[in-house]
Structure 1
Amino acid sequence: MVILAAAFLFFRAEQLFYEQPTVVRVTRNVRANGLHVGIVGVMVILWIAFIIGSPETFLNSQIYRALMTSIPYWGIIALPLTMVVIAGEFDLSFPSIMAVGMVAFFEVYTRVDSLGLAFAASLISGFLVGLLNGVIIVRLGIPSLIATIGTQFFWRGVVEVIRAGQGESMTFTRDTTLRNSLVNKVFDYFPAQVIWMVIVGVVVWIILNRHRFGAHVYLIGDNEDSARLMGVNVGLTRIMLFALVGLAAAFAGIIQSVDNWYFWPNLGEGYLMQTLAAVFLGGTSVYGGTGTVFGTFVACFIIGGIQPGIVAVGLTGYYTKLIYGLIITASVAMHTMMRKRLK
């Protein structure tokens, strides 16, 4: 439960069930309901198409267990990343933070032979790297897109220098509490990592919808100047958002490495496109101010199902990135048109 405790570390407990103003809450709920209906409709249509195209694959429960195993590797990051984008920012460094967290894990484990301390060190390192991202962006005034591109390359380089390009086996986690709690099967079917993804989703939903911090995130995304006039500490809020993404990235990196019995220094490199695609497909506006956790959660399973769906219906996997690109472009175009209509 370390990740849950860390997520609430900087939030006052008495603010947990903060109620937003009625007009703001109703307006946001109307928008959210429309987004939810749309994204669920997309998922249903896509799954029907896949079932018709390859019933032997998509009527088999094994495909769903496989999706629930692999999607949390990046879906856990997509959920807090939604908050960053709602605030009008971007974070492209999380793939490297996944690897940084695992380097910290091994550095501590080889010295103290404690999985618990190694796990904590990984989460703390991810949180601190994310915090540093936020400080660079807020204090130096560098656009988050540019800053996190730079820090992604920097931290990947740090990992490769420390590890000298060498991976590490994770077989020492066999039959340990760490492995059993993170990736074992629940009820002999559900991978534990999808349960953790649900837990992270609930935490992020509470922060966004029942906590003053979440109200500040939406205010910043809607209008930063207005948020400042209302007394919101815009800089601190943004810094904390990047720290939470770093925390989630480290946690996801542990899950992926433990589940696959191995850590590679290039951990996370394949997760950038689908994570961003899930956030945008889920209804989060690239301009900020709009987005929901539920939308991102559902979109993760849509994006995660695209590659096996494409292969199952007879196409090659090369179409996957093409479709990811189309989804991101179409989502941005849609929000741009909506933004122009509202002006």
Structure 2
Amino acid sequence: MKILLVGEYSRLHNSLKEGLEKLNHDITIVAAYDGFKKYDVDLLIKKKYRRGIKKKVKNLLYRLTGFDLESYNVIQQIQQLESQLRGYDIVQFINETPFGCSAEIETKIFDFISSRNNNTYLLSCGTDYISVNYANGKNLRYSILTPYKNGKDKTNLFAYGLKFLKPEFKALHYHIYNKINGVIASDMDYHLPLQNHPKYLGLIPNPINIDNLKFEELKIKDKIIIFHGINIQNYYKKGNDIFEDALGIIKQKYSDKIKVITVRNLPYSEYIKAYNQSQILLDQIYAYDQGYNALEAMAKGKVVFTGAEKEWLNHYNVKEDTIVINALPNAASIVEKLEWLIKNPSKIIEISKNARQFIEEHHHYVTSAKNYLNIWGTNNKL
């Protein structure tokens, strides 16, 4: 089949493409780069107004007229690719706004691409109307909106996806859902809000290309190395402030037993290299399941502090803190679990092996590709 994957977050569509190609399908990705993370893209949509004088001109024009120069430029590029964006058997959008444009332009992009192809699907991956609306309610013990609701983060509200609650993005959501064959969740954080929705087709765990991620059995020599990668834009949303508070305590108590590596805003290829020497990786806090950074680190045998709540434990029928470490929004809890690992290094080795095995069983990119093909095949419109 010819399959068009629209948008890219955290290498999900690249890994899915690699799995589908193993099954002899013809795959094309059309996307802009995911922020500073330059994943491979077949048809690259360039964001030309992200920095410097062009960004200032764009912002000024938007404030004065409401005209979004970046969005207009994006749809122009897509329209110029018209001959390369038609005739696909399957189209999958990674999100309701895969290009980060205005609601009006995202609507036009969706219609432009979907109308030229057969069978359009949507991933719930990254914030969207349903996930943000669910998090904004009283359904969860904590959510990605917790730092915002607590008043902790007042500088970067864009990161919380609050735009999806605005009328124009709500309208975009309903417009897309009226036209798609169905929606697929990429992990538990998106599965929970979609349960019982008539368009929901189920959860397919994020695909991980384990062939590209070599597992090496951990060896602890002089010190345990703890890695903390920070994306400044999502600093509070990911709970990096809590991790840093916990690390401050741990460094004081165990300076002779640990080494901490902290990096900021590294491109994907450099990020992967930076954590290679570590045994423990601090990923994110306000989550119920693992995101892409966590899963890839698990594939390489790292002990990852991330989302692993009881909903995830029940879904996979696993025990707490045996595959990953559930990172709660509490520095004292993070300290307690780090201390447990520092005092019991054999647990680090054990969890490392379990993590790799879990990825092989539940996130293998070829198995994931087969699951997508099964859902697409079952729900195709004749």
Larger-Rg structure: 2
TM-score (norm 1): 0.27
> Which one scores higher on RCO, CA 8 angstroms, separation ≥ 6?
1
TM-score norm. by structure 2 comes to 0.25
**Greater helix content:** 1
